[in-house]
Amino acid sequence: MFGGVIVIVALGGLLLVVVALGLAAALSRQPVPPPSEAAEAARRHGVLVSIAAWALPSIVGPLLLLQLSDLYLRWGGTGGPATWNALLVGLYPALFGLGYLGVHAIGERTWPRPAGPVRRAALVHRRVSDVAPRWLRRTVNGLAVATVVVLVVCGATGADDGRSITTSAFSGDAFTTRSASPYPGWHFALPLLVAVVLVALAAEGVLRLVARRPAIVDADPTYDAASRRLSAHRALRGAVLVIGCSLAGVLVVAGTALQGVELRPLGLAAAVLGVVVGLGSIVVAAIPGRAAVAAPAAARGPATSPASRSAAA
């Protein structure tokens, strides 16, 4: 049990370091001057939500999993500590993703609303496609579909125990059987599949909240649209990270087991693909959100071009 928890605590600590570095970079960056007080309040709210979405799951996740581990062993959990460790580490990215998107959902529901005796807001019907970066949304959906397919294939090809793979073949006159574990059979594939689907659905839910949240009063519509795109980018890059890392882990574990049953070319290809997917997901998640925002007229001098400036997340 403790091996899996140690890995998760280490991952949580690494995420906290990344959050601290990102916060330092955000504080040192000069943001685009907001066009109004309402816009500045919305910008501050978005930054706080983004920081909380990375920090809170990193802190709460390991503590919650420690309690689950204790309950699992106290209630006589089956499969042994090795099985629980593997399942614990495998589920952590998806559970982190649900916490990450949950914080974003709360942030959207508590978005600063119009205040004062006279409240104004443009009545514009927005769709998810209007606020979400198309390439990033497609990346999340593509990774989710690929993860589901890989998990179903692994579950179907796993042994009856749900956590290993067995192959049988004739070698000369002898019938040989080889087995390797761990392998993401149904024992691991089913909970991972449910968790990944929930993360993908949660990401879509947050995008709908972004599209429907109140408009920023006294701000140009382009500024409000840029703020929404920035929020959508922040939510989606976390989903890319957790789904991509889950898929990468499944591919690497499955590839290692496949090599153990003498399916070396297939196993090596799966392991290499897993490393590529994992690194690619980290790179995509590290891309800062940049929404084009036109600089206010007061902030533009005679030598300033009318080109739009950008705000980074």
Q: Examine the pLDDT at 86 and tell me if it is beyond 90.
A: no
Residue type, 168: S
Residue 113, pLDDT > 90, answer no
277 contacts: CB under 8 Å, gap ≥ 6: 143, 244, 247, 248, 251
Whether residue 39 is contained in a domain is answered as: yes
The CA dihedral of 158, 160, 165, 168, to the nearest 10 degrees, is -110
Q: How far apart are CA 114 and CA 12, in angstroms?
A: 37
The C-alpha angle 273, 155, 7, rounded to 5 degrees, equals 60
Comparing CA positions, the residue from 49, 73, 69 lying closest to residue 9 is: 69
Q: Of 59, 47, 49, which is closest to residue 17 (Cα–Cα)?
A: 59
pLDDT at 299: 40
Res. 180: pLDDT tops 50: yes
Backbone angles phi, psi at 264, to 5 degrees: -65, -50
The model's pLDDT over 271-304, given as tens digits with 9 standing for 90+, comes to 999 999 999 998 998 888 765 444 444 344 443 3
CB-based contact 240:139 (threshold 8 Å): yes
Instruction: Indicate the length of the chain as a whole number.
Output: 313
8 in any annotated domain: yes
Residue 121: partners with Cβ closer than 8 Å, 6 or more residues away = 114, 214, 215, 217
228, containing H or E segment: helix 221-260
Structure tokens at 210: 């972004």
Q: Could you tell me which residue, 117 or 85, shows the higher pLDDT?
A: 85
Domain annotation covers residue 308: no
Residue 64 and residue 201: Cα distance in Å, rounded? 22
Q: Which pair of tokens denotes residue 263?
A: 């399916």
In the numeric block, which tokens belong to residue 223?
């500024």
CA dihedral 97, 99, 101, 102 (to 10 degrees): 160
**CB of 187 closer than 8 Å to CB of 267:** no
* pTM attached to this predicted model: 0.81
Q: pLDDT value at position 296?
A: 43
Q: Please give the mean pLDDT across all residues of the chain.
A: 78
Please report the pLDDT score of residue 104 as a whole number: 95
Q: Is the peptide bond prior to 182 cis by the omega test (within 30 degrees of 0)?
A: yes
**What is the identity of the amino acid at 267?**
G
If one counts the domains in the chain, the total is 1
Of the candidates 274, 250, 248, which has an alpha carbon nearest to the alpha carbon of residue 189?
250
pLDDT tens digit sequence for 31-48: 555 667 778 888 889 888
Task: Tell me what the mean pLDDT of segment 187-211 comes to.
Answer: 93
Q: Which domain holds residue 38?
A: 2-112+125-292
For residue 242, being part of any structural domain is answered with yes
The first and second tokens of residue 23, run together, are: 């916060």
Give the rounded percent of residues in the chain with a pLDDT score beyond 70: 69
Q: SS3 for 160?
A: coil
Confirm whether 77 is domain-assigned. yes
| Residue 305 included in any domain | no
- How many whole angstroms separate alpha carbon 62 and alpha carbon 2? 11
Could you tell me how far CA 125 lies from the centroid of its own chain?
28
pLDDT of residue 288: 81
**What's the confidence (pLDDT) of residue 57?**
85
Q: What angle do the packed helices 134-157 and 186-212 form, to 10 degrees?
A: 160
144-171 pLDDT tens trace: 999 999 999 999 999 888 888 988 876 6
Q: Is residue 205 part of a domain?
A: yes
